Amino acid sequence: MCGFIGFTGTTANNARLIENMCERIIHRGPDDGGRYIDDGITLGFRRLSILDLSCPSQPWTSKDGRFALVFNGEIYNYISLRDELKALGHTFTTNCDTEVVLEGFVEWGRALIPRLRGMFAIAVWDKEERTIFCARDPFGIKPLYYTVADGDFIFGSEIKAMLEHPKITMRVNPRALRPYLSFQYSSTPETFFDGIYKLPPAHTLTFRDGTVSLERYWDVDFDEDESRTLDDFTDELEHDVRESVKLHRQSDVPVGSFLSGGVDSSYITACLMPEHTFSVGFGEAKFNETEHAEHLSELLGVEHHTKIITAEECFDAFPQIQYHMDEPQANPSSVPLWFLAKLTREYVTVVLSGEGADEIWGGYEWYDDTPALRKYKRIPSPIRRAAAKAVKHLPYFKGHDMIVRGGGTPEDYFIGQAFVFSDREAKRVLADKYKDAPTPFDITRPVYDKVKDKDELTKKQYLDISLWLPGDILLKADKMSMAHSLELRVPYLDRIVMASAQRIPSRFRVNENGTKYVLRRAANRSLPDEWATRPKMGFPVPIKNWLREDRFYELVKAEFTAPHASEFFNVDELLHILDEHRSGKANNQRRIWVVYTFLVWYRQFFIEYKRKPLE
């Protein structure tokens, strides 16, 4: 696991600039570093040693000197690819996946990318064609950002390193804030930095003659196979998950496992059987699953490590958390994840985690119908659709949301697992300059258009895989783990696992027995009922209670009334939301947190961030 940074063109001091940029991401690779400077290209790299610890640091160049490569991630099928390349006449001097990626690119060019099984962000400079080729893994596990500034292409694993480049002008993207208030994360290929973009998952990028072109190489294809039984799918899921875990444990350094009280991480742990497991929680019972993790670890004979986090620790760490995120990210679970990664790194360098199970097998509560909604859906669908259309734009009343959801069209109400401010509420708190931006439904519409013929459950899963998973879940997993030089691996998000998961009929994913039903059946072969069937708890954080305490209320209020806050928000409206929550008249914790997060992020990058000198 590593980090890279690069740019075309020249500056006053390319060598010093690339060192400054690499220093910004040294947390991604504290073990070693390297640089490559040639006519028209400068590449920098930081390495966290995982496989073949004697392997030289990147950047790597091909034997003929034509290609220079930087690569962040892990390729789990690199051994079989290496054997295939050997049969084609390629020779290898190391046992690391980086050499396989480079030789594979020499042999197959961009056709290499769909062959890779793993998590990756890749950039290759072609000295002969004077082009840069980039690629990102199918799910978006590893990040890759880019921009074109004054004709130069600047790219890297983290935005903070790119900002060192003197040709980048730092401005807040005026189109990013409005949808963020609803989604709680940056939900489009644009970032919060005007002109800087994310390479979308499952895409390649080519920069040639000053022009960027993108191409998609893979997509999820939910195509249900009705010829097979529930037992068939359970058997296949168990085989695929165990094989994926086996591949993901490849490492020359210790490997551990995150472990909560839920089925996802518990199943990974049971398949892996690591020496160490890790969990964190809070002092309040409703916000602490650590006892479940401790119990399972005891049953499995694994050494477990736990930390109980205080509110003071969370608020103290929050500016650092947002700095490492690069963009404002208001999922409260980022906070405990920061501390979980920090704890884990004291014992291991690689950790397996359960991200992705909910999205690919249907695990979220939003995917299931409540008993009342199931009863309502007995009404003929044309009547329900007409009722939903009629009330959609009416003010809220009791039963409003059930009628809209009961219309059977997620396109009308579902933007993903987070929905903080409605668009109407967002416009009320925003300054005028930031109101002219895409609405949440502007962003979800083209995603839904790709699955028009699918059922409700599949539409929701596809939307979450496309937006929520890379924009929220995987972003915080990468940034919080790499902030502590910890490699986090996600065995569920494997292209072979997904290939079988997308064939499972909806009725085996979610039914009257609960969510991600087929996964729970498979897990139950390795786990007691208590863990296989436990309802999803997530990573709850007691923000609601904290914001009603004077010290934290005052801390947030100070941020809401800071001079820069009025540039973005109607401060009176913010204070009304904050005071309404403090008094107990409303639960505004999510609204407060999403605004507070943005303002803390803004302070980190637009007030405190300073470029390093090039002398």
Residues with catalytic roles = 2
Q: How do 487-489 and 350-352 pair as beta strands?
A: parallel
Contact by Cβ (8 Å): 481, 340:
no
Contact by Cβ (8 Å): 276, 352:
no
Cα distances (Å, whole numbers) of residue 342 to 278, 336, 481, 604: 10, 10, 8, 21
**Could you give the CA distance from residue 88 to residue 368 in angstroms, rounded to a whole number?**
50
Cis peptide before 59 (omega within 30 of 0): yes
Distance from CA of residue 8 to its chain's centroid? 28
What is the crossing angle of helices 589-602 and 311-325, to 10°? 60
Q: Work out the number of other CB atoms within 10 angstroms of the CB of residue 394.
A: 10
Residue 4: which of 98, 122, 164 has the closest Cα?
A: 122
Residue 180: which of 475, 536, 539, 462 has the closest Cα?
A: 475
**Could you give the CA distance from residue 190 to residue 197 in angstroms, rounded to a whole number?**
5
Q: In what order do the strands lie in the sheet with 203-208?
A: 60-61, 67-75, 118-126, 131-136, 203-208, 211-216
Q: Work out the number of other CB atoms within 10 angstroms of the CB of residue 179.
A: 26
Cα distances (Å, whole numbers) of residue 485 to 122, 305, 320, 349, 501: 19, 18, 15, 7, 31
What stretch of H or E contains 579?
helix 571-582
Q: Work out the number of other CB atoms within 10 angstroms of the CB of residue 299.
A: 13
Residue 559: which of 594, 588, 590 has the closest Cα?
A: 594
Phi, psi at 368, each rounded to 5°: -105, 155
